[in-house]
């Protein structure tokens, strides 16, 4: 282009019915680009480009017209270039003549003074055999203007790679209907150049495969997986804080601390207009509502909800996908879930994270849950990054003791304790019973439960911290009532479930709460524990001596940590009585056996040291501890008592066993502020910092606190 006669002419053509061909042409002259830009602005119908064709033998065809289809402007560093993608207005005969050369058609847009180009004028009136219909719409013109506008600073060049790939593959494979949808997908894809390059490479690979080959289907599956991801789906977060509060309060009873923390999270998101993801870890026993809390968060935010359970994960490939070289390779669960729900920012529940196999699978979870890494999460199957940073992750666990610290550090831990009996009664009355009545086709007037009957179900049939078994028991009662009504063989008179007729529905109670565990003989003590289900319980610790050589035997299916606690307590006791006159006869001529009943149940944890020490002390002195007393806490060799966990559950377990006095570590004093007064009613809490203080309380000795010192003999009883 430049000094000679311009071969770029623009004109308006009438409709025609001849098929078109696609070509590309480049301009480097700013003046020529301005001509086209202004022409598109001035003509709201169609714009055509006058150009020439050259074939391999050097001959130049007649000057023809082409309808502009797409324009890309870029700065190559050597000057402005403008690339046109246009539709050739050739009839079939003319195209066949050009095709006889059996070579690709090259498009020339150069100076008219070029020696090997025989420039010919084209009559703008010749609209007979060189015309094409298919009008440009207003939307098309907007796209053209947007592309050309990049020359004038109206658009950055971030789309260069996308358009160049699109042009390349559409030019090469535009007639291939098998891959045309993938080409169009790349053209409209809202993703990074790295992703576009990967997908275009796969399209190119597909175009070279025969449909009969196995790799053809592999390519198809990969491209379909990439297309299914929510690339262009907008973020959705528009919620009312008042409505969110109502949803969370309506769906759960109690849980004040948990609800407050969730509402605070939502309030901050609303205040900052923040749609970034979050990572919340709900820790608590089964059946306390961790999953339903996650659903409530999704409802409150107005987001889609999805979940997967780590319990079904065998290794890290279930999370990050399989390599394509494997037979039956597929993406990981996260990518699959996002494809299925078609959302970029759902609330995703990762259930039972504490069941994850250790090692590589936990490292894979670390990549998913780390805000600095999940922005560019790379599924092994797809092998390109996808942003997970907008997802609100809600992780659940029963016990996080064995989880790696780097993983815990990425999550905000929210503890969900078990329910009290009073809370369970409210939950059953307000939620569980209405739900089961509706599920089984009964109205509120057809069957009712007395409050004492609900308490009997809780205490006699459901030994749990949550309410899952409570709902099952209620469901069983309702089903049997419906059956009796339908068969006209009534189980009870009337329609009210009472404590005295409960056995007709549920049989003999599973738990006998009339039996109170006592420690009324020397060498026995009551310790407090929390089971793997999050249920607080009372353990009877028994110590006996037999003639021997000072050895100690531990039984009751004890774990390594609790065995160490027993050994530490025994060593502390020997030091405590080291100067006593009976020391040698007692410790050197006896063997000692420590046992915790219910040996089929595994027991472990760092909170039994105080109870062990008191039991050994009781055996040595021959004095039983005071009635209705239980204790929890760990000791070290110096006799200091250290903090424990699960205080609320342990107090609940103590109350079920009619315990009145509870010894706890002084370091746990702060935890009492978070425990409802309802739970603390009826018990006396005794915080202590040394085992000598615990001894004074256990044996009901009146002594000034000033006399309790670190000297082992000063407060001996």
Element (H, E) at 149: none
For the chain, give the mean pLDDT. Answer: 75
Q: Is the pLDDT of residue 65 over 70?
A: no
How, if at all, do strands 552-555 and 590-595 pair? parallel
Q: Is the pLDDT of residue 176 over 60?
A: no
pLDDT digits (tens, 9 = 90+) for 286-324: 888 888 899 998 888 888 999 988 877 777 888 888 888
Chain-centre distance for alpha carbon 214: 35
Which of 208, 76, 216, 224 minimizes the C-alpha distance to 151? 76
**What separation in angstroms does the CA of 696 have from each of 233, 664, 691?**
68, 14, 9
Q: Tell me, yes or no, whether 258 and 121 share the same domain.
A: no
User: What does the pLDDT read at residue 169?
Assistant: 56
Element (H, E) at 26: strand 21-27
Residue 447 neighbours by CB distance under 10 Å: 20
Q: Tell me, yes or no, whether 400 and 443 share the same domain.
A: no
Decide if 175 is inside a domain: no
**Which of 248-262, 282-296, 468-482, 504-518 is most confident?**
468-482
Top pLDDT among 167 and 108 is at 167
**For 520-544, what is the mean pLDDT?**
87
Cβ neighbors of 171 (< 8 A, separation 6 or more) are 22, 24, 85
Number of helices and strands in the chain (H, E): 25, 23
User: What does the pLDDT read at residue 246?
Assistant: 87
Measured distance CA(410)–CA(320) in Å, rounded:
19
DSSP readout, 351-420? E-GGGSPTTHHHHHHHHHH-TTTGGGEE-TTT-SEE--TT-EEEEEES--TTS-HHHHHTSEEEE-PPPP
User: What does the pLDDT read at residue 168?
Assistant: 57
* Percentage of the chain lying above the pLDDT 70 cut: 72
**For 91-110, what is the mean pLDDT?**
38
User: What does the pLDDT read at residue 244?
Assistant: 85
Q: Tell me, yes or no, whether 380 and 440 share the same domain.
A: no
DSSP readout, 638-657? T-BEE--S-HHHHHHHHHHT
Q: Tell me, yes or no, whether 483 and 562 share the same domain.
A: no
Q: Tell me, yes or no, whether 300 and 393 share the same domain.
A: yes
Q: Tell me, yes or no, whether 653 and 690 share the same domain.
A: yes
pTM tops 0.85 = no
**For 678-692, what is the mean pLDDT?**
91
Residues 449 and 437: beta-carbon distance below 8 Å: no
Q: Which region among 271-280, 290-299, 326-335, 439-448 has the lowest average model confidence (pLDDT)? A: 271-280
Q: Is the pLDDT of residue 698 over 80?
A: yes
Q: Is the pLDDT of residue 106 over 90?
A: no
Top pLDDT among 253 and 68 is at 253
Q: Tell me, yes or no, whether 427 and 402 share the same domain.
A: no
Q: Tell me, yes or no, whether 286 and 384 share the same domain.
A: yes
Half-sphere exposure of 639 (CA within 13 A, CB side): 21
Decide if 72 is inside a domain: yes
Q: Which of 157, 190, 216 is the last residue of a domain?
A: 157
User: What does the pLDDT read at residue 162?
Assistant: 42
Count of domains in the chain? 4
Q: Is the pLDDT of residue 460 over 70?
A: yes
Decide if 403 is inside a domain: yes
**For 530-539, what is the mean pLDDT?**
78
Measured distance CA(406)–CA(403) in Å, rounded:
9
User: What does the pLDDT read at residue 371?
Assistant: 81
**For 41-59, what is the mean pLDDT?**
47
Measured distance CA(277)–CA(42) in Å, rounded:
48
pLDDT-derived band at 355 (thresholds 50, 70, 90) equals confident
Top pLDDT among 713 and 328 is at 328
Top pLDDT among 600 and 525 is at 525
Q: Tell me, yes or no, whether 130 and 8 share the same domain.
A: yes
Q: Which of 415, 450, 474 is the last residue of a domain?
A: 415
**For 418-438, what is the mean pLDDT?**
89
Residues 461 and 509: beta-carbon distance below 8 Å: yes
**For 111-123, what is the mean pLDDT?**
33
pLDDT digits (tens, 9 = 90+) for 514-530: 678 888 899 999 999 88
User: What does the pLDDT read at residue 311?
Assistant: 75
User: What does the pLDDT read at residue 705?
Assistant: 34
Q: At residue 25, what are phi and psi to the nearest 5 degrees?
A: -145, 145
Domain around 58: 1-157
Decide if 219 is inside a domain: no
pLDDT digits (tens, 9 = 90+) for 153-168: 333 434 444 445 555 5
**What separation in angstroms does the CA of 630 have from each of 299, 338, 459, 572, 684?**
44, 51, 20, 20, 11
**Which of 132-141, 354-363, 632-641 is most confident?**
632-641
Residue 253 neighbours by CB distance under 10 Å: 18
Decide if 229 is inside a domain: no
pLDDT digits (tens, 9 = 90+) for 217-233: 888 889 999 998 998 88
Q: Residue 24 forms beta bridges with which residues?
A: 85
Q: Is the pLDDT of residue 615 over 90?
A: yes
pLDDT digits (tens, 9 = 90+) for 136-153: 344 544 454 444 443 333
pLDDT-derived band at 568 (thresholds 50, 70, 90) equals very high
Q: How many residues does the chain have?
A: 717
User: What does the pLDDT read at residue 107?
Assistant: 31
CATH code (residue 480):
1.10.8.60
Which of 6, 118, 4 minimizes the C-alpha distance to 58? 118
User: What does the pLDDT read at residue 45?
Assistant: 38
Which of 367, 256, 316 minimizes the C-alpha distance to 675? 256
Measured distance CA(243)–CA(300) in Å, rounded:
7
User: What does the pLDDT read at residue 83?
Assistant: 52
Beta strands in 92-163 (DSSP E): 106-108
Measured distance CA(674)–CA(671) in Å, rounded:
6
**What separation in angstroms does the CA of 679 have from each of 174, 212, 285, 515, 650?**
73, 71, 18, 21, 11
Decide if 373 is inside a domain: yes
Q: Which of 110, 127, 157 is the last residue of a domain?
A: 157
Half-sphere exposure of 705 (CA within 13 A, CB side): 5
Top pLDDT among 602 and 545 is at 545
**What separation in angstroms does the CA of 535 have from each of 418, 436, 467?**
7, 25, 12
Classify residue 343 as exposed, middle or buried by CB count within 10 Å of its CB (0-12, 13-18, 19+): buried
Tokens of 646: 């699960």
Q: Tell me, yes or no, whether 384 and 426 share the same domain.
A: no
* Percentage of the chain lying above the pLDDT 90 cut: 22
Q: Tell me, yes or no, whether 457 and 555 share the same domain.
A: no
Decide if 194 is inside a domain: no
Top pLDDT among 107 and 83 is at 83
Cβ neighbors of 604 (< 8 A, separation 6 or more) are 558, 559, 560, 561, 562
pLDDT digits (tens, 9 = 90+) for 365-411: 888 888 888 888 888 898 888 988 888 999 998 888 778 888 888 88
CATH code (residue 619):
3.30.230.10
Residues 437 and 447: beta-carbon distance below 8 Å: yes
**What separation in angstroms does the CA of 187 have from each of 283, 309, 345, 642?**
45, 36, 24, 64
Measured distance CA(714)–CA(690) in Å, rounded:
13
User: What does the pLDDT read at residue 286?
Assistant: 85
**For 225-244, what is the mean pLDDT?**
83
**What separation in angstroms does the CA of 136 have from each of 12, 48, 143, 175, 395?**
12, 11, 11, 21, 52
The residue to which tokens 């796969």 are assigned: 202
Q: Is the pLDDT of residue 89 over 50?
A: no
Q: Which residues are catalytic?
A: 607, 650
User: What does the pLDDT read at residue 117?
Assistant: 32
Decide if 716 is inside a domain: no
Q: Is the pLDDT of residue 44 over 60?
A: no
**What separation in angstroms does the CA of 629 have from each of 200, 536, 624, 656, 674?**
73, 15, 11, 13, 23
CATH code (residue 368):
3.40.50.300
Classify residue 314 as exposed, middle or buried by CB count within 10 Å of its CB (0-12, 13-18, 19+): exposed
Q: Tell me, yes or no, whether 537 and 462 share the same domain.
A: no
pLDDT-derived band at 566 (thresholds 50, 70, 90) equals very high
């Amino acid at each position: 282009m430049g000094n000679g006669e311009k071969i770029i002419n623009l004109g308006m053509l009438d409709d025609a019915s001849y098929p078109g061909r696609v070509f590309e042409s480049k301009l480097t002259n700013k003046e020529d680009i301005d001509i086209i830009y202004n022409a598109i602005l001035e003509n709201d119908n169609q714009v055509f480009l006058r150009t020439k064709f050259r074939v391999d033998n050097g001959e130049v065809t007649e000057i023809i017209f082409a309808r502009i289809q797409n324009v890309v402007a870029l700065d190559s560093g050597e000057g402005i270039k403008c690339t046109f993608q246009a539709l050739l207005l050739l009839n079939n005969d003319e195209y066949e003549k050009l095709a006889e050369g059996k070579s690709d058609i090259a498009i020339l847009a150069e100076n008219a003074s070029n020696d090997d180009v025989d420039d010919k004028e084209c009559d703008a009136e010749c609209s007979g055999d060189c015309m094409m219909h298919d009008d440009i719409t207003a939307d098309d013109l907007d796209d053209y203007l947007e592309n050309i506008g990049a020359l004038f600073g109206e658009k950055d060049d971030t789309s260069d790679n996308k358009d160049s790939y699109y042009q390349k593959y559409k030019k090469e494979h535009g007639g291939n209907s098998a891959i045309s949808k993938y080409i169009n997908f790349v053209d409209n894809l809202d993703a990074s150049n790295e992703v576009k390059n990967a997908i275009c490479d796969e399209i190119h690979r597909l175009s070279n495969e025969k449909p009969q080959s196995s790799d053809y289907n592999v390519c198809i599956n990969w491209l379909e997986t990439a297309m299914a991801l929510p690339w262009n789906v907008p973020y959705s977060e528009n919620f009312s804080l008042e409505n969110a509060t109502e949803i969370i309060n309506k769906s759960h009873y109690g849980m004040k601390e948990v609800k407050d923390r969730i509402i605070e999270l939502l309030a901050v998101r609303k205040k900052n207009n923040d749609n970034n993801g979050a990572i919340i870890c709900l820790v608590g026993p089964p059946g306390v509502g961790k999953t339903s809390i996650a659903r409530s968060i999704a409802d409150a935010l107005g987001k889609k909800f999805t979940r997967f359970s780590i319990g079904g994960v065998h290794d890290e490939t279930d999370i990050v996908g399989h390599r394509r070289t494997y037979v039956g390779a597929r993406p990981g669960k996260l990518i699959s879930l996002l494809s299925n729900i078609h959302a970029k920012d759902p609330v995703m529940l990762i259930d039972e994270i504490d069941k994850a196999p250790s090692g590589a699978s936990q490292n894979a979870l670390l990549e998913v849950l780390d805000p600095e890494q999940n922005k560019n999460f790379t599924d092994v199957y797809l092998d390109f990054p996808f942003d997970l940073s907008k997802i609100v992750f809600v992780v659940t666990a029963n016990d996080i003791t064995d989880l790696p610290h780097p993983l815990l550090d990425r999550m905000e831990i929210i503890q969900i304790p078990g329910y009290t009996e009073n809370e369970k009664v409210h939950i059953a009355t307000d939620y569980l019973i209405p739900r089961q009545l509706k599920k089984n086709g009964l109205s509120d007037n057809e069957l009712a439960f007395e409050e004492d009957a609900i308490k009997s179900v809780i205490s006699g049939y459901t030994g749990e911290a949550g309410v899952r078994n409570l709902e099952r028991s209620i469901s069983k009662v309702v089903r049997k009532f419906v059956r009796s009504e339908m068969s006209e063989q009534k189980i009870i008179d009337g329609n009210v479930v009472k404590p005295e007729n409960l056995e007709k529905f549920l049989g003999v109670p599973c738990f006998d709460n009339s039996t109170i565990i006592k420690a009324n003989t020397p060498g026995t003590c009551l310790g407090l524990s929390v089971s793997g289900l999050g249920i607080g319980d009372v353990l009877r610790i028994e110590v006996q001596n037999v003639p021997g050589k000072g050895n100690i035997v531990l039984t009751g299916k004890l774990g390594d940590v609790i065995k160490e606690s027993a050994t530490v307590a025994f060593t502390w006791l020997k030091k405590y009585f080291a100067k006593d006159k009976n020391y040698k006869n007692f410790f050197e001529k006896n063997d000692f056996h420590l046992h915790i009943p219910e040996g089929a149940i595994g027991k472990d944890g760092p909170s039994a040291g105080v109870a062990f020490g008191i039991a050994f002390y009781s055996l040595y002195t021959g004095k039983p501890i005071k009635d209705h007393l239980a204790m929890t806490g760990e000791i070290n060799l110096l006799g200091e008592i250290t903090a424990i966990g699960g205080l609320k559950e342990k107090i609940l377990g103590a109350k079920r066993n009619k315990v009145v006095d509870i010894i706890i570590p002084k370091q746990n004093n702060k935890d009492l502020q978070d425990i409802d007064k309802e739970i603390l009613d009826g018990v006396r809490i005794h915080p202590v910092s040394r085992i000598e203080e615990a001894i004074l309380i256990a044996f009901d000795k009146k002594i000034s606190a000033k006399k309790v010192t670190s000297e082992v003999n000063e407060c001996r009883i």
